[in-house]
Structures are given as structure tokens and as C-alpha cells.
Structure 1
């Protein structure tokens, strides 16, 4: 009788957007001895909602030289892009390069980069793509998971990786009146509905972040000339990029910051110091972004909640920048008087035949204001409070007590090693959290560079567990050739 170790951990990644696809690719590239399955209904892995857009004005909002699937090679995408342009394999895009020489290609191009990196492993069968959704799942006696898919097939996994990304957008309560009316576009990624708007339509966009800017850019490219109003709580819009300058000397980790108010004061001081050195606030925020995980780790739950409550909007509009091409569209329309930003709270929405009458209470005011619009477009962002209930796979795991919501409402409760924390507060090494679902633990986990680094840590954790399999689950081979794999 002898021992050998043909058993491989079955890793099932639920969600094949950027985070899930990058994890699968890293596991395959590093030849981690596991079986990799990705459950994703879209025809291609890696695109998700962001990079599946075929809209030519939708561009990545991070310079190409900082986008990558492999953190140790931050310019991988840039090299792929330059080679593709030089060879003619990628069509030219005269608007891609800014005056400062930075590349901001269309998002679809980045999705193509991810798909090409994955292609060899999909063709070889190293990565298996199940084009379906998880309808339900159950936990087996041996601790593995059985997943029932929407195409009526079933697969098993020893390790689950939850990479479902952001939950869908929810309609603000006042919009319930318009739910079934043609004037409401409830999802910003509805190109057919947006394309159907008249050239002179009066448009109200709820939200002023990146999603809002995408809609304005799309309408502008379509030749829309009517007035656009963006209504949000603070009336602040996302900022653009500036030419790269020197690095900030600020340090937000030494000494560690324990209070949200202390962080705010230190940021303000850093901006003043950077300006004295010829930099602007962009340099300060680059530093904040780089040290974000350490800053977040130094705050307790109370101060994390305080930070989100009072400073989240300011962080979002400074941190999540617009591609320069999109910012130029916004600036032009503002100058033309065709785009305005209003700070206020939505109060009431009422259908008026072919138009919509909207009432809002201005920020700092008491008396409501109102105006008529031909269309209302919702870009208020993911409904973080509905992360679990909006996804059947997460709902099934929560029903079994295997996962729990993050206390701050940012995703799922996650341990220091990206393991899911269950309803009893215990970390489960068989369920790992990848991408934005782990924001509550890491604080900053939305951009592709951060997600690539985080799934790299998950890949290492899976590799560690895979190395233990021969010790914990050896396969006994008899001299007659029969095998038994004890559970």
C-alpha cells in the first residue's frame, strides 16, 4: 500500500467580474493545485458591469499605467495596450491620450485585456466558466458546498470565493410613484432607454458621482442639448485628474490615527503642507489612498462609522476621479448652461402626463423647490444595505448562518485574512470574500489596482490550504490499484 495525492481542492468563485476573474487567473498562472470554477452569467469573464460597456465615451477613470491584473507588474495593461496599438490589433483611438501623455482608453478595451489574459486557461480547461447564476446552495456533510445553478446543473466546491461585487441600485422611496412610468430610468446602464430620450429633453439625474458623469457623457455624445440637472445631498460632483506631480510627504500612519476628527485635521494640514511644496490636494489624496488600509485598520468601529457618516461624500468626490475626457464634457456643458448641480434632498415625485414634477428641499433650507422634467435617471449607486438579500447565493449562505452583513453596511463581515465571518462571529476558512464585498474590513476596495492586490492575498491563502490537502486528506492506494479517498 502506498500514498499519493491526486485530490485537489475544488475552488468555486461566485462572480466573474474583475475581482473573480483576476483571482481565477492568478491561481491558474501560479499553478496552484486546485480545480477552478467560476460561476458568472455573462458570456465573458472579467468584464462585469463596468468593463462590459460598449459606450465609446465610457473610459477607465485611472490612468492605464496603473491598471493591472498583477500587482507586481503595475504597467501590465499599459504594455498590452501599447503593443496592441502598435501591431494594429487594437483600433486607434485619437481621444485616448491626454495632453499630458496619459492613456485613458475605453472601458471595453480594459475588459478585452482581462479576457485575453484568461483565454489560454479557459481553452485548456484550467479555468471552467459556468455561464449561469447560483440559484441555491447547501452544505454537505464533509463541509463542502453543493451549488444549484440556474441552468439546472450542480457543482461542488471545497472553498467558495464570494466575488459578486456591488449590489444593484435601489430606487429612492419617492420614486416609487414612477416605477412603471416611461419617464423613469431606474438603472444608469440602460443604453436603449437613454438613447430614446429626445434631443431637448429636460433630464434630472439623481446622484452626482461617476455614474452620473457617465450618463451626462453618453447624452452629450448622442447630441442631447436639453438642460440636465444633477440632484444629490451635497451637490458635489466627482473631480478630475491633474498632471502627475511630486509625491506628498504626508504620513497618516505614524503615529497611528485613532479618531475620525484627528484624521480630518491631519488631512487638512497635509493639504496646506503639500501646497507649500508646490503640490495640490491630488498629491495628498494619492498618499491617503496608498495608506488607506493602515488608516482604516487603526480606527475602531465607532470612528469608522463616524468617518462614513460625515466624510464619505467628500472622500468619494476627491478619491474617485473622472477620466479627463469625461470631465471636459461636464465642464463644457456647465459653461454652456446646460448642466447644473443642486444640493438637496428628494421629497416628492409626481407624474404629470408626459412629464414629471419633482420636489426637493435644498440643503440648508426649509422651503421645498420643484421643477418639471421629461425624464428622471437614477444613479444613486449600489444599495449596500441590500447586499445579501439581492443575491440568491448570499441569501442562501446567510440562511445557513455562514455569512453575516458587515456592521457598517459596506458588504459582508470579513476577517483579517479575508475569511467570511459567520452569524456567530467565527471566521470560516472555506468561504473567502473578494472585491468590494470586503470593504468593511479593508475600507478602500473599489478600484482595479486595489482589488488585484486583495485577490492576490486570497490566492496565497488558497495556495496555503491546497498545500495542506495531502496532509489532511491523503489518498490510500492499495497494491491492487483500488483507491479510497476518505472524507
Structure 2
């Protein structure tokens, strides 16, 4: 069954989708010509869709902006609308709950739609999942939904966000085959619903040591968890805490960009201070200012070479933690409840005295086993099967790391023949391998502004000002 044609189809329903709608409408695109396909409330997604009060933003409010000319908008909204979160205010800034940022995004979306004379339901939003995409007879696109419906559109914007984490180890078939043990494996920790089923006496293994792991630890600490929590981290470290940094201007980069030159610039520019020092973080943030230009000048081999040398430092210090989460982890570690294991998980098997037994390897885990009641996968984003299907179908090309699709600087998907698709675009973290450091909310907003402006010009040029997507 075909749904009525729409000018613009956005695949995804998280922050990238919502901010794209905001800027499309403000660029003059009529809300009625926009269709969203994706589950959940528009604007929440995996990043901000958790209702738990201990899942926090890891950056201060001043950096969470939708409009570059209104960088303090979220902070002002938070002061006026958040009255039950005194812990948000920290010495290094205000770190609000993820769910409250989702509320802010919704309020911005509602305001923009109201200003355009359209209610929130002026946009068609299907709660299904897109399972396939192909060309339509009209020359546009046809998307297949998981309920069997089809949607055709002139233009498609991929805003799929971060996919569910994959298990980084072998999972015994017997564990997955039994409903009793399969439910003890939490593959997607971002929604926080698993916390309702964990008792204070449950022995828990958390895989990964990044921001999601810290959110999980903070939520367990709030619930006065009493049993052992094992944090399985190959490097045995938690992220450093956000400092009260103030960045200055960007550094001068060597030309032409080469992996070795970029690496030397990092080493020479970062001061000989502890990474927790605000001056060290300020220098790191200054290096980020023009890092995308350096990245764009590298070929695929050089990008892979650079990440082999610099990737560990980038991952560790680019994604710092909110002070509240580090404080919670420190308390649990000092009490002996949290055990940070310098080890890697290799297998999940049925247990004898407990439901699950974990096989470990690594510096502190060679030949070691852990008996636990739950395993929480906090390893980060996995592979997106939908994007992979576009590569298989010859619609796009995998990026240098096989995590997303190649895109141009204007967010257009690159076809296998090297040409750019003007009516198939992408916004969100899946562009990182192509464009660099573009995962922050502010960078996603800038991409949405760029795409919205290009769409407005393109549709006006096609004469759709009055009968299609552009307001007169």
C-alpha cells in the first residue's frame, strides 16, 4: 500500500531528525511536505530518549545549541523550566539530564511549527522502521517500512543516529535460546528500562568504560546497589572529568596535512600538565577547532593510519564525563562495589551457580571467569544494517572504516561511480568517518542548517515555491 507522495522523507526520529525539521521549516519548507519515519518521540532517539534521571549530558549546557546565534538558549530554557535537578549545577558548568534536553528540543520544535502556522501533527510521523530504500518510478525514492507499507519521496535525508551496540564477544547459543537468560543480556542500555528489573543484589558486568557505562553506574548508585559491579575495560580507565576550560583561537597546522604531522602537532601543542587540568583540556579543545579541515585533506589510507596512532587519545579525551557520573563511580569504587577489571570479554556462557559465566582475557583477565546475573553492553554504537543494505544495493559507498556511508561536504551521499546524489543526504554521527568531528549536537545543528539552506534553494529552483515545499 502506497502512502501519498511527500517532498522530503527523513529516516530516523532522534535529535538529528528533529533539528533538521526545525531548520527546514525555518528555511521555508512547509511542514506538511515533511515525513518522518522512526520510533519514539521526535527528537529523543537513543541519545536523549532515556527517562532515567541519572543519564546525563556529558557537556555543559552552553555547548548544546540548535542555533549558532542563540548558544545560550538551552541554558536559559533550563533555568526557567527545570526545577527538580539541583545536581545539574557544577563548578565546571551545568550538566543537565538527557531527558530534559529532549524536552527542550520538543519545545523548540513546537515553537517553530507554531510560528509556521502548523501544529505538531502538521508533520507526518510514522513510528515504523525503514527496512529498505530504492529508486521510485518517478525518479525519487521509495522506502519500505517494516509493516509492509511504502513511502515515496522526492528527497530523502538519512538521520538514523547511532545503531544499537553489537556484542563484542561470542554469545553461547544456549544463553540466547533460553528466554530466562536472554533477558539478562542488555544489548541496548540507552533507554534505561533494564534498571527496573535489576535488584540491589544482582551481580552485574558492564562491558565498556565510556559515557554510557558511567550513566549506568550512576543510576545503579542512586538505587543503592549492593552487589558487585564489574566494569570490563581493556585499558582499565574511566573517561576524565570535564574541566572548567576556556578555549582560545585555533593552532596553526602544518601543511600539507599528513598523519605524522598531525600527530606531532597534538604532542607539541598539548601542555605538560595532567589531562584533568583545565589548561590541558582547553588546548585539546583548541585542536578540535580546525581538525575537520585536516581530516578532509587526508585520503582513506592516511585516515586509517592516523586513527591507529591517535585514535586512543581522541576517544579518551574527546568524550569526557560529567562530574556527577565520575563522582558516583568513585564512590562505588571506594566502597568496593565497583571493580574495574583491566580485561576483555571473550565469551558469554551459561553459568553454574549464576545465570551467566563470562570468559575474560587481557592484562588482568587471562583465563579468568566471572559469574554474574546481568551483562550490560555499553560498548557504544554498532553497525547499522540499513546503511549496509544501501551499500549492497549500490546506492552508496562504505566509508573508510566501514561504519557509515561516504558523503560530500554538503552531506550528499556519494554513489559508487563517485558522483553525488543531490536528493539523498545524511545528517548525524554516521558522517564522522567522512567529515571528521561532527557528532556533537552543535555540529549536527550546523549540518541541518546547511542542508535546509540547500534544499530551499533547490526546491525554489525547481519552481516549487507555491505548489510544493516552499512557503510563498
TM-score (norm: length of structure 1): 0.84
**Equivalent position of 2:86 in the other structure:** 94
Go from structure 1 to structure 2 and tell me whether the alpha carbon gap of 1:77 and 1:286 turns closer, same or farther (over 3 Å shift): same
After TM superposition, list the pairs within 5 Å mapping 1:339-358 onto structure 2: 339-353=338-352, 354-358=354-358
Q: Which runs of 5+ in 1 are unaligned?
A: 1-7, 85-89, 477-487
Structure 2 partner of 1:64: 61
**What is the Cα deviation at residue 117 of structure 1?**
1.4
Q: How many residues align?
A: 451
Q: Corresponding residue for 2:72?
A: 75
Which residue does 1:481 correspond to in 2? Answer: none
CA distance in 1 between counterparts of 2:347 and 2:40 reads 40
Judge conservation of contact 1:183–1:376 (CA < 8 Å) in 2: yes
* Structure 2 partner of 1:217: 218
How do 1:241-260 residues align onto structure 2 when only pairs under 5 Å count?
241-244=242-245, 246-248=246-248, 251=251, 253-256=252-255, 258-260=257-259
Give the distance between the partners of 1:329 and 1:474, measured in 2 at CA: 54
Closer, same or farther: CA 367–241 of 1 in aligned 2, 3 Å: closer
CA 1:233–1:256: 2 relative to 1, 3 Å: farther
Residues in 2 aligned to 1:215 and 1:475: alpha-carbon distance in whole angstroms: 50
Deviation of residue 32 (structure 1)? 3.7
1:164 corresponds to which residue? 160
Give the deviation of 1:109 after TM superposition.
Answer: 0.9
Q: Among residues 51, 56, 75, which one is paired with 1:54 in the alignment?
A: 51
- Contact 1:11–1:35 (CA under 8 A) maintained in structure 2: no
SS for the counterpart of 1:132 is coil
Cα deviation, 1:352-384, whole Å, max 9, x if unaligned, reads 232433232224x8943333223222111112x
Looking at structure 2, the residues matched to 186 and 404 of structure 1 have their Cα atoms a distance apart, in angstroms, of 28
SS in 1 for 2:457: helix
Match of 2:26 in 1: 29
Counting only pairs closer than 5 Å after superposition, residues 83-482 of structure 1 correspond to structure 2 as 83-84=80-81, 90-100=82-92, 102-120=93-111, 121=113, 123=119, 127-151=123-147, 153-177=149-173, 178-179=175-176, 180=178, 181=181, 182-189=183-190, 191-244=192-245, 246-248=246-248, 251=251, 253-256=252-255, 258-272=257-271, 280-353=279-352, 354-363=354-363, 367-383=366-382, 386-387=383-384, 390-391=385-386, 394=387, 397-470=390-463
CA distance 1:157–1:374, shift in 2 (3 Å): same
Gaps in structure 2 of 5+ consecutive residues: 468-472
Please state whether the residue corresponding to 2:404 is helix, strand or coil.
coil
Instruction: Decide whether the 8 Å contact of 2:164 with 2:187 is kept in 1.
Output: no
**What is the CA distance between 1:176 and its match in structure 2?**
3.6
| CA 194–467 in structure 1, closer or farther in 2 if over 3 Å, else same | same
| Matched-pair contact (CA < 8 Å) for 1:206–1:212 | yes
Offset at 1:249?
A: 5.6
Q: Cα distance, 1:16 vs. partner?
A: 1.7
Instruction: Provide Cα deviations, 1:155-197, integer angstroms capped at 9, x if missing partner.
Output: 3211110011112211123234533425422222364433323
Distance 2:191 2:80 in 1: 33
Tell me the distance in 2 between the aligned counterparts of 1:333 and 1:288: 34
The answer for the alignment partner of 2:470 in structure 1 is none
2:19 pairs with 1:18: no
From the superposition, tell whether residues 262 and 440 of structure 1 become closer, same or farther in structure 2 (CA, over 3 Å): same
CA deviation vs aligned residue, 1:11-65 (integer Å, no higher than 9, x gap): 1111121111101111112224685423233342111112111101111111111
| CA spacing shift, 1:149–1:355, aligned 2, 3 Å | closer
For the 8 Å contact 2:141–2:152, the answer to whether it is kept is yes
Whether the aligned pair in 2 keeps the contact of 1:358 and 1:370 (CA below 8 Å) is yes
C-alpha contact (below 8 Å) 2:206/2:376 kept by paired residues: yes
Q: What CA RMSD, in Å, does the superposition of the two structures yield over aligned residues?
A: 2.8
Report deviation, 1:257: 6.0
1:26 and 1:168, CA in 2 relative to 1: closer, same or farther beyond 3 A?
A: same
Q: Equivalents in 1 of 2:234, 2:218: separation in Å? A: 22
